Chain A
Amino acid sequence: MATAKKGNRLIGAPVERVEDLRFLRGKGNYVDDQSLPNQVYAAILRSSVPHGRIRGIDKSEALKMPGVHAVITAADIGGEVPVIPIRLQPLPEVFPLRQPVIAVDRVRYVGEPVAVVIADTPGLAEDALEFVEVDIEPLPVVASRKTSATDASLLFPEYKTNLAKKFTGLKGDAAAAFEGAHYIKKQRLSVQRHMALPMEPRGLLADWRKDIKRLTVYGAGKVLFFNRRAVAQMLGLEENSVELVENDIGGGFGARGEFYPEDFLIPFSSYSLGRPVKWNEDRRENLSAMNHAREMEAEYEIACDADGTIRGIRGHVDVDNGAYIRSNGLTPPRNVAQFTTGPYRIPNIHIDVSVRLTNKTPCGTYRAPGRFEGSFFIERMIEIAARDLGLDPVEMRRKNLVTVDEMPYPMATMQHIDPYTDTECDSGNFHITFDRCLKEFGWDEKVKLQGRNIDGRYHGVAAGCFIEGGAAGPRESARLKLESDGTISVFVGSSAVGQGLETVMGQIAADMLAVPFERVRVFHGSTSYVREGFGSYHSRSTVMGGSAILLASAPFKEKLCKAAARRLNVSEQEITLIDERAVAPNGASIEWKALASDDISAEESFTNTKHTYAYGAHCCHVAVDPGTGHVEVLDYVTVEDVGKIINPLTLHGQVIGAIVQGLGSTFMEHLIYNEDGQLLTGSLADYVVPLADDYPVIRGITLDDYPSPNNPLGAKGAGEGGIIAVGGVASNAVANALSSLQVEIEELPLTPPAVWASIEKQRLVEGTKN
């Protein structure tokens, strides 16, 4: 077999997203656009009490309402109420802390499902919620890490503590490194609770067909195969009698598509009523029901030599993880232990992480889980150390960045059973991206503005570096199939959450087979397409699914050659595949299309035990108005090396979007609870996210100088890098702007009142000195 001489060059080309036209014309097909004959609607009654014992639920009034079909509570589930399985870090010791899919005898956060009402219309179902009487005896509320740590009130009395789990990341000998160090600084730093907030809230349409014993669930996403297994087990069904279907999805960011209580409750409702049941979350529900994220406080110490060489870092991170351990709730705390140190050569590490339970919405992953937080911690620590040591913060970073000669470079090891206890940066030259970023930003000019007050606003700049883990294993599969019209169908187990999956997978497949892009059709988002799939998280779809396509293309071409050889009466080695034809040495040829009847298809999976590490740098320039506390981001530049660029357009979109999200995390977004455990930010008027005109100047440059040695594409996961360093870099820029006022930045978010308060605090300190 010979490969085509003139191959495609789609990989690396700015192919327009095939999804875009559909979305821009309003032709997206979301779960709320799905309907089935005879369907009824669900509404969820959620606890308004943060912590309490359920004494009774009276549904009689609601059931009397015309159009109401059922009110389902824990008592109606029959048998043991299932719990949400832990998908990542499934450590048996935290199993008692898993969330029941509906509150049984205790509620532990505001928003926890207590009952499901099924009615003819969504309005009726919502009206009926008010007529379900729930009698809850309040228990003392644990609304903060501090209260949680006292164990005075326990969320799970039988667990005997609110400390759910401890993680430790270790490297070298931290105690020895701190011994006699020239400079040691202890620093408290914290990140606020906020969340992924996809624009499209969740929704499900479940259809149990008793006659054919088949359950179809629309509205799935991210991890279809895992969730199928979970719901099948909970309902006592065979896995292959359940199909999960992914529709267009308006954003995932780690939160959408995980297994939530509704992923059981809606299929269960359909199962028990024998009718299709539809549910769509509204924004108020979404804010208390979907995973929260990022609420962490670090108390770190850094030890340095006089020249800025970092000797070690040690300390403790306290995580407010909410009321339960959900499907991926342990990932952020785990990651902060391993990845705080990022791209920096820190030979001695000892980081302990405490995962604490509180009466708040449970937490999960949000784009760059634990990495955003860790980057904020380490970038602040380095900036403070450079200032204290009288060093240029850029030089101090250069000195401590891992060099190209040190690759592969190992991260801290985790002291628990975990497939990635040992992981290492796979390849790259961190200094190249850092220098390029400084140059694109115009650092040498802009740094002259550092701390200066120009027309009443203080200017500040900062730079920082990051690594981005990607390509989580274990496997991903792809199936290629030649259709009778000559097009090639590509079936993948990855999911689309708005990241341009169809386009990117199409480019890879078209290149591998040397056919035009239009001849390839990508199918994803159904558990029927391939045997297994692991989903879209940890920036893995391109690398894992793309590599699987690459692997499947070889047997696919072999089959083409075999079939053609039979028809053309030559040996299969003599066939050349070119321009969608199979050509024999004598010039005789046959169209691929004509071979479709021979069942030309191939399925392969790509297995990977090693992560990829994309990496890069960020620079930021801000102006701070001391009168209002407002921070304007005047310029933001990022340079990242992703190993292999498949599509610069989709990648650029990922980068810009991620930075905007990161700026939202740094300056705006905050899920605020009061001391009584009530969530105060109940709408998008109060939960403030960036709007289109908030951060107009963001520039992103992507390189692919250092391919990953860990997959045949050489690609590295690149969906999260944009967000990782934003908290650290942007807050350093603010701190630098206000350096003449001795302002300390220790907490996110830097809302106008918070920035103003940090200035005012120093004014008062100065005032008392005089």
Chain B
Amino acid sequence: MKLPPFEYASPRTLQEATTLLSKHNGDARPIAGGQSLLPLMAFRLAAPSLLVDLANIPGLDRIEIRDDGVHVGALTRWCQIEADRRLTAAHPLLSEAVKHIAHYQIRNRGTIGGSLAHADPAAEMPALAITCGAEITIAGAKVSRVLAAKDFITGPLETALEPGEVITSIRFPKWRSHRRWAFQEFSKRRGDFALGGVALHFDEDAQGHASEVHIGVFGTGDTPGRLSAAEEFVRGKKVDAGLAQAAGNIARSAVRVASDMHAGAAYRQALIGTLIERALVEAASRAIEE
């Protein structure tokens, strides 16, 4: 498995990068951490004529906490997110989710932008971005645009990115205080892509009833997405073990799954039900600092 031949460029500015990419009529690809693209090339499932390395473009790897939420630069590596202590308060779900991604070595190189652009249906970040209602900022050679994560991911390994476009940052909307959350996934071995996973958060009103319920699942089918049947069921109710179980059952029959050699559809449906039940129990029982 050796890489097919390709040209390599290492521009210093975003403008240069997008210009190079658009000149190659879709045959050029940006490369960030290389943890998804290089395996594809080694298997000769991708053979771009030009790789445009984004690594030397300054300013794309910052995590900023602002009034409107957490802004994460596209070139931010998993290990940076994992190590950023501010995020445990500013976005605990993001902090937690990243721990489940791959292995130590891969988290040292893999980037958030690369993961979103790769759009693996079993990956954590696309699911988290959709669940949290994140926005993705994209720069083209001429114009920039902002897309909601749910409109950005269009299929398995498919996104709304046009040739020549580059993700520059992701914004996770501001995290409410006292918000309840949980992240649960199951894979054959730690660090593997998930056989199924759940990210969820909700707020509670004065009576302890759930509002703003966001439940996202991944590893199930072609794309990650929110599970509205389960969200509607939980909304306005008090989350306890009984409700969690019922929500799990609803999710199990509502979720759309595909089967592959690693797990059949029935397993994946049941797994999502189990994980949602466990996640709701975990979220409800987590001590919230006053």
CB A285 to nearest CB in B, in angstroms, measures 8
Supposing A283-B1, A628-B186 touch, asked if A753 and B263 sit within 8 A by C-beta, the answer is yes
> Which of A282, A668, A757 is in CB contact (< 8 Å) with B267?
A757
> Which of B43, B186, B274 is in CB contact (< 8 Å) with A284?
B43
Q: Let me know if B251 is at the binding interface, CB within 8 A.
A: no
> Which of B2, B191, B262 is in CB contact (< 8 Å) with A126?
B2
Q: Let me know if A627 is at the binding interface, CB within 8 A.
A: yes
A629 CA / B188 CA spacing, docked (Å): 10
- Please state if B4 and A127 are interface contacts (CB–CB under 8 Å): yes
- Please state if A752 and B266 are interface contacts (CB–CB under 8 Å): no
Closest-by-CB residue of A relative to B193 is A685
Complex interface residues of chain A between 306 and 321 (CB less than 8 A to chain B): none
Closest-by-CB residue of B relative to A123 is B2
Q: Let me know if A432 is at the binding interface, CB within 8 A.
A: no
A672 CA / B264 CA spacing, docked (Å): 14
Closest-by-CB residue of B relative to A283 is B1
Chain B residues with CB under 8 A of A683: 43
- Please state if B270 and A756 are interface contacts (CB–CB under 8 Å): yes
Q: Let me know if B64 is at the binding interface, CB within 8 A.
A: no
> Which of B5, B188, B271 is in CB contact (< 8 Å) with A123?
B5
Q: Let me know if B195 is at the binding interface, CB within 8 A.
A: yes
A9 CA / B203 CA spacing, docked (Å): 71
A691 CA / B271 CA spacing, docked (Å): 23
Chain B residues with CB under 8 A of A284: 1, 43
> Which of B2, B43, B190 is in CB contact (< 8 Å) with A693?
B190
A413 CA / B5 CA spacing, docked (Å): 59
A127 CA / B2 CA spacing, docked (Å): 9
Chain B residues with CB under 8 A of A283: 1
Tell me what chain A mostly uses at the interface: helix, strand, loop, or mixed: loop
Chain A residues with CB under 8 A of B190: 691, 693-694
- Please state if A751 and B188 are interface contacts (CB–CB under 8 Å): yes
CB A664 to nearest CB in B, in angstroms, measures 10
- Please state if A627 and B274 are interface contacts (CB–CB under 8 Å): yes
Q: Let me know if A760 is at the binding interface, CB within 8 A.
A: yes
- Please state if B270 and A694 are interface contacts (CB–CB under 8 Å): no
- Please state if B271 and A628 are interface contacts (CB–CB under 8 Å): yes
Complex interface residues of chain A between 605 and 650 (CB less than 8 A to chain B): 627-630
- Please state if A753 and B262 are interface contacts (CB–CB under 8 Å): yes
> Which of A630, A680, A691, A756 is in CB contact (< 8 Å) with B261?
A680
Closest-by-CB residue of A relative to B277 is A627
Q: Let me know if A686 is at the binding interface, CB within 8 A.
A: yes
CB A387 to nearest CB in B, in angstroms, measures 27
Q: Let me know if B192 is at the binding interface, CB within 8 A.
A: yes
A668 CA / B267 CA spacing, docked (Å): 16
Closest-by-CB residue of A relative to B264 is A753
Q: Let me know if B278 is at the binding interface, CB within 8 A.
A: yes
Q: CB-defined interface of B246-290 with A at 8 Å, one 1/0 digit per residue? A: 000000000000000111101100110010001000000000000
- Please state if A681 and B186 are interface contacts (CB–CB under 8 Å): no
Q: Let me know if B189 is at the binding interface, CB within 8 A.
A: yes
Complex interface residues of chain B between 178 and 203 (CB less than 8 A to chain A): 186, 188-193, 195
Q: CB-defined interface of A677-697 with B at 8 Å, one 1/0 digit per residue? A: 000110101101011011000
CB A749 to nearest CB in B, in angstroms, measures 10
> Which of A122, A282, A686, A760 is in CB contact (< 8 Å) with B270?
A760
- Please state if B4 and A672 are interface contacts (CB–CB under 8 Å): no
Tell me the total A-B contact number using a CB cutoff of 8 A. Answer: 61
Chain B residues with CB under 8 A of A690: 189
CB B88 to nearest CB in A, in angstroms, measures 24
Most buried by A among B2, B5, B264, B266: B2
Supposing A693-B190, A753-B262 touch, asked if A127 and B270 sit within 8 A by C-beta, the answer is no
Supposing A126-B2, A691-B189, A752-B188 touch, asked if A627 and B267 sit within 8 A by C-beta, the answer is no
Closest-by-CB residue of A relative to B260 is A680
Closest-by-CB residue of B relative to A626 is B274
- Please state if A681 and B261 are interface contacts (CB–CB under 8 Å): yes
Closest-by-CB residue of A relative to B4 is A127
A630 CA / B184 CA spacing, docked (Å): 14
- Please state if B2 and A756 are interface contacts (CB–CB under 8 Å): no
Chain B residues with CB under 8 A of A757: 264, 266-267
CB B159 to nearest CB in A, in angstroms, measures 21
Q: CB-defined interface of B39-75 with A at 8 Å, one 1/0 digit per residue? A: 0000100000000000000000000000000000000
Chain A residues with CB under 8 A of B1: 282-284
A485 CA / B267 CA spacing, docked (Å): 68
Q: CB-defined interface of A375-399 with B at 8 Å, one 1/0 digit per residue? A: 0000000000000000000000000
- Please state if A760 and B266 are interface contacts (CB–CB under 8 Å): yes
A190 CA / B154 CA spacing, docked (Å): 42
Chain B residues with CB under 8 A of A123: 2-3, 5
CB B285 to nearest CB in A, in angstroms, measures 14
Complex interface residues of chain B between 197 and 223 (CB less than 8 A to chain A): none
Supposing A672-B261, A693-B190 touch, asked if A127 and B271 sit within 8 A by C-beta, the answer is no
Chain B residues with CB under 8 A of A630: 186
A762 CA / B208 CA spacing, docked (Å): 39
CB B156 to nearest CB in A, in angstroms, measures 16
Chain B residues with CB under 8 A of A126: 2
A691 CA / B189 CA spacing, docked (Å): 8
Chain A residues with CB under 8 A of B278: 627
CB B258 to nearest CB in A, in angstroms, measures 14
A680 CA / B262 CA spacing, docked (Å): 10
Q: CB-defined interface of A198-238 with B at 8 Å, one 1/0 digit per residue? A: 00000000000000000000000000000000000000000
Most buried by A among B190, B262, B263, B278: B262
A186 CA / B3 CA spacing, docked (Å): 53
A222 CA / B233 CA spacing, docked (Å): 63
CB B120 to nearest CB in A, in angstroms, measures 11
Most buried by B among A629, A683, A685: A629
A751 CA / B188 CA spacing, docked (Å): 8
Complex interface residues of chain A between 36 and 71 (CB less than 8 A to chain B): none
A284 CA / B39 CA spacing, docked (Å): 12
Supposing A126-B2, A282-B1 touch, asked if A688 and B267 sit within 8 A by C-beta, the answer is no
Chain A residues with CB under 8 A of B43: 284, 683
- Please state if B2 and A752 are interface contacts (CB–CB under 8 Å): no
- Please state if B189 and A694 are interface contacts (CB–CB under 8 Å): yes
A760 CA / B271 CA spacing, docked (Å): 12
Closest-by-CB residue of A relative to B191 is A691
A282 CA / B1 CA spacing, docked (Å): 6
Chain B residues with CB under 8 A of A282: 1-2
Supposing A282-B1, A683-B43, A756-B270 touch, asked if A688 and B189 sit within 8 A by C-beta, the answer is yes
A757 CA / B193 CA spacing, docked (Å): 21
- Please state if B188 and A668 are interface contacts (CB–CB under 8 Å): yes
Chain A residues with CB under 8 A of B271: 627-628, 756
Most buried by A among B186, B267, B274: B267
- Please state if B5 and A127 are interface contacts (CB–CB under 8 Å): yes
Supposing A126-B2, A282-B1 touch, asked if A629 and B267 sit within 8 A by C-beta, the answer is yes
CB A521 to nearest CB in B, in angstroms, measures 37
A127 CA / B188 CA spacing, docked (Å): 34
CB A726 to nearest CB in B, in angstroms, measures 18
A126 CA / B270 CA spacing, docked (Å): 43
Chain A residues with CB under 8 A of B262: 686, 751, 753
Chain A residues with CB under 8 A of B266: 757, 760
CB B74 to nearest CB in A, in angstroms, measures 25
A752 CA / B5 CA spacing, docked (Å): 40
Closest-by-CB residue of B relative to A125 is B2
Q: Could you pull out 29 A-B pairs where Cβ atoms are within 8 angstroms?
A: A123-B2, A123-B3, A123-B5, A126-B2, A282-B1, A282-B2, A283-B1, A627-B274, A627-B278, A629-B267, A630-B186, A668-B188, A668-B189, A672-B261, A683-B43, A685-B193, A686-B262, A688-B189, A691-B189, A694-B190, A751-B188, A751-B262, A752-B186, A752-B195, A752-B267, A756-B270, A757-B264, A757-B266, A757-B267
Instruction: In the A-B complex, list the 4 residue pairs whose CB atoms are closest, starting with the nearest.
Output: A627-B274, A753-B267, A282-B1, A753-B263
- Extra contacts, 9 of them, besides A688-B192, A694-B189, A752-B263 (Cβ < 8 A), are A122-B2, A629-B267, A630-B186, A680-B261, A681-B261, A752-B195, A753-B195, A753-B263, A756-B270
